[in-house]
Structure 1
Amino acid sequence: MKVFDLHSDLFTDIAFRRARGETNVFDRIHYPALKKGGVSSIICVFWTEPIFSHQPLERFHDLIKFVEADLLESKHAVVQPIDGIQEETISDGKVKVYLGIEGLSSLDQWITKSENETIDTTFAFMKEKNIQHIIMAWNEQNAFASGTGASSIDGERGVTTLGLDLLAKSEKSGFIIDVSHLDETSFWDVIHNTTSPIIASHSNARAVCNHERNLTDAQIRVVSERNGLIGLNAYGEFVDERHPTVDRFIDHIDHIVSIAGIDHVAFGFDFLDYLSDHPLGGGMDVLTEGLEDVTKVPALLEQMKHRGYSQEEIEEISYKNAEGFMTNLISERRRT
């Protein structure tokens, strides 16, 4: 069965490996695992790791340089362009890659570094690079919004005036607006200042695991009311406080489906197994038992069947809902 993964950090692995002289990383390291897991489409993000927090813009440009070079070498990855040329189903086994940004600290530095740089120029750059997805803040506060896990005297500051400008331009450009990682103040600011469907690409249910990265029932409900998507996250810390397992992961599916309905649930696995050997600047090593990496996804789907999900329901969550969201988004871009 096909799988659409709404969130991956594999670009980080590509960048570290390219920096030490490796080539063809996607095809050698990631494609075999993605193929085994059934992944046919994936949102991959440019994420500035904590170790590079003092130079986010420089790191952002390095990430783009390394990733572009690797994808040009790839025989198995096809970048989904923002103009939608590649929206038709790819049948030759290639993986369709959507480009995104997780945390805008690099754009914050870009804009504040030069009086000549504005949100308009940075958006032009992102479109040129086929970036079409944004998460405004990671575990940080920046010039645009505040995220969960950010330590600041400002508390949950929310979306700033500059952030509202960015949101308006994101909607106008038909970008995928992703509310994962936003604190509750920023989340509701996005809801109240946009009208387009949004996604929470890699967020679970707070009622099942009481972590600030997970969504409250009210947040789950409003994403579904906006015809958006919630991608279930396999990272152990967000699955269960004590014993994250594949069954506990399915408990999150059950809960979100009960509120949002099956049509608004997807996967955003956030697998991190391939980052364990890289100096990220923070520990991220809590794996979910039975769902440690992408090769375990077929077993997850089988377990969902045992838990009472029909074949059609599993297909909806696995890829149909996400594919439909992207098709509608591309169609809307063409109308504007």
Structure 2
Amino acid sequence: MKVFDIHSDLFTDIAWRRSQGETNVFDRIHYPQLKKGGVDSMICVFWVEPAFLQDPITRFRLIFKLVMDDLRTSKHANVCVTVDDMTDAVGSGKINLFLGVEGMSFLEQWGQQSIEDNIENAFDKLHADKIRHTIFVWNEWNALASGTGSPDEPEKRGLTNVGELAVKKANDLNWVLDASHFDESSFWSMHNASTQPMIASHSNAFALCSQERNLTDDQLKAIAARGGLIGLNAFSGFVDKANPTLDRFIDHAVYIADLVGPQHLAFGFDFLDYLSPHDLGEPFSSSTKCLENVTKVPDLLERMTVRGFSSNELEGISFNNAFDYMKKMLK
């Protein structure tokens, strides 16, 4: 059964390894693991790590260059802007990659005369560079919105005026708007401002794990009502604070499927096993037992069958729901 992972940070590993002189990183390091996990397609994000938040624009541009240089020479990476660009991973030996951004604080340094001009210019440039997805914040607040995990409080929570402008620009470009990392105020601001269905690419059910990044029942229902997607996150802190296990991860799948329907579920695993060797400014090492990395995904699918998901439901959660959403969004 093929898998569409709607949130991956593997670009961070590629950038670090390239900066240390390695080449062919996607093909050598990531492709064999992804193949073992049955991954066919992914949304992979460019993310400015905590260690570089004082100068996010410089870091963003360097990461983008390092990663794109690696993908350009790859035999196994297939960069897509619509589903028409996709190819079957088994037959082609390629993985379909959709490019995204996680955190847009760099917009404030983009270099135009105003933040409004920065948004217009940056979105157009990123669109030309094949990016089709955005999360406005990462554990921070910025000129666009407020998120969870910030060490200080913003003056006002929710989308700002320019954040609403960014939503409109993303809608005009048919980008995927992603609410993961938003606080509740920003979530509802984007829900009200967007004319297109949004996703939460790597967030679980707050009712089962009271982590502020997880989604309340009302949030889950709001995403589903517009035809959006919830991507199940395998990071331990979002699964269970005391006992993050494979079955507890599946509990989130069962809960959300019962609440809004399995057609609104996907996987956004947020695997971080490959980030631990790098000095990112914060430790990223926690994982769910028996779901520590992408090679464990086939075991997950087998266990979900045992837990009562039908083959049609599982094919939807694993791949078809994300494919259908991307087909609808990426025109």
TM-score by length of 1: 0.95
Give the aligned residue type for 1:86: D
Cross-structure match for 1:17: 17
Cross-structure match for 1:314: 314
Three-state SS of the structure 1 residue aligned to 2:177 is: strand
Q: Which runs of 5+ in 2 are unaligned?
A: none
Three-state SS of the structure 2 residue aligned to 1:59 is: helix
Q: Does 1:51 align with 2:55?
A: no
> What is the alpha-carbon distance in structure 2 between the residues aligned to residue 144 and residue 218 of structure 1?
23
Cross-structure match for 1:145: 145
1:240-251 alignment, distance < 5 Å: 240-251=240-251
Q: Deviations over 1:53-85 (max 9, x none)?
A: 111000000011101110011100100036x65
Cross-structure match for 2:122: 122
Cross-structure match for 2:33: 33
C-alpha displacement of 1:152: 2.3
1:83-162 alignment, distance < 5 Å: 85-87=84-86, 89=88, 91-110=91-110, 117-154=117-154, 157-162=157-162
> What is the alpha-carbon distance in structure 2 between the residues aligned to residue 289 and residue 125 of structure 1?
41
Three-state SS of the structure 2 residue aligned to 1:275 is: coil
C-alpha displacement of 1:260: 1.4
> What is the alpha-carbon distance in structure 1 between the residues aligned to residue 311 and residue 116 of structure 2?
54
Cross-structure match for 1:168: 168
C-alpha displacement of 1:19: 0.3
Give the aligned residue type for 2:85: Q
> What is the alpha-carbon distance in structure 2 between the residues aligned to residue 207 and residue 276 of structure 1?
29
> What is the alpha-carbon distance in structure 2 between the residues aligned to residue 73 and residue 237 of structure 1?
36
Asked if the contact 1:44–1:100 (Cα under 8 Å) also holds between the matched residues in 2, the reply is yes
Three-state SS of the structure 2 residue aligned to 1:118 is: helix
Give the aligned residue type for 1:173: L
> What is the alpha-carbon distance in structure 1 between the residues aligned to residue 223 and residue 300 of structure 2?
24
> What is the alpha-carbon distance in structure 1 between the residues aligned to residue 285 and residue 198 of structure 2?
28
C-alpha displacement of 1:146: 0.6
Asked if the contact 1:156–1:184 (Cα under 8 Å) also holds between the matched residues in 2, the reply is no
Query: In 2 relative to 1, CA 46–316 (structure 1 residues): closer, same or farther, beyond 3 Å?
Result: same
Query: In 2 relative to 1, CA 53–113 (structure 1 residues): closer, same or farther, beyond 3 Å?
Result: farther
Asked if the contact 1:200–1:229 (Cα under 8 Å) also holds between the matched residues in 2, the reply is yes
Cross-structure match for 1:80: 80
Asked if the contact 1:111–1:119 (Cα under 8 Å) also holds between the matched residues in 2, the reply is no
1:293-312 alignment, distance < 5 Å: 293-312=293-312
Give the aligned residue type for 1:277: P
1:220-299 alignment, distance < 5 Å: 220-299=220-299
Give the aligned residue type for 1:307: R
> What is the alpha-carbon distance in structure 2 between the residues aligned to residue 244 and residue 298 of structure 1?
18
Give the aligned residue type for 1:194: S
Structure 1 runs of 4+ off > 3 angstroms? 87-91, 111-117
Q: Which runs of 5+ in 1 are unaligned?
A: none
> What is the alpha-carbon distance in structure 2 between the residues aligned to residue 32 and residue 88 of structure 1?
17
> What is the alpha-carbon distance in structure 2 between the residues aligned to residue 329 and residue 116 of structure 1?
24
> What is the alpha-carbon distance in structure 1 between the residues aligned to residue 153 and residue 4 of structure 2?
39
Q: Does 1:193 align with 2:193?
A: yes
> What is the alpha-carbon distance in structure 1 between the residues aligned to residue 115 and residue 44 of structure 2?
30
Asked if the contact 2:232–2:265 (Cα under 8 Å) also holds between the matched residues in 1, the reply is yes
Three-state SS of the structure 1 residue aligned to 2:85 is: coil
Give the aligned residue type for 1:92: S
Give the aligned residue type for 1:104: M
TM-score by length of 2: 0.96
Number of equivalences: 330
Asked if the contact 1:156–1:185 (Cα under 8 Å) also holds between the matched residues in 2, the reply is no
Three-state SS of the structure 2 residue aligned to 1:78 is: strand
Q: Let me know the Cα RMSD of the aligned residues.
A: 1.6
Asked if the contact 2:101–2:133 (Cα under 8 Å) also holds between the matched residues in 1, the reply is yes
> What is the alpha-carbon distance in structure 2 between the residues aligned to residue 8 and residue 88 of structure 1?
19
Give the aligned residue type for 2:57: L
Q: Deviations over 1:209-232 (max 9, x none)?
A: 000010000000000001000000
Three-state SS of the structure 2 residue aligned to 1:180 is: coil
> What is the alpha-carbon distance in structure 2 between the residues aligned to residue 88 and residue 287 of structure 1?
31
> What is the alpha-carbon distance in structure 2 between the residues aligned to residue 204 and residue 284 of structure 1?
18
Q: Deviations over 1:110-160 (max 9, x none)?
A: 257878952111112101110000001110010000111113233661100
Q: Deviations over 1:228-276 (max 9, x none)?
A: 0000000001100111000000000011111110110000000000001
> What is the alpha-carbon distance in structure 1 between the residues aligned to residue 75 and residue 114 of structure 2?
39
State percent identity of aligned pairs. 52
> What is the alpha-carbon distance in structure 1 between the residues aligned to residue 86 and residue 74 of structure 2?
19
Cross-structure match for 1:323: 323
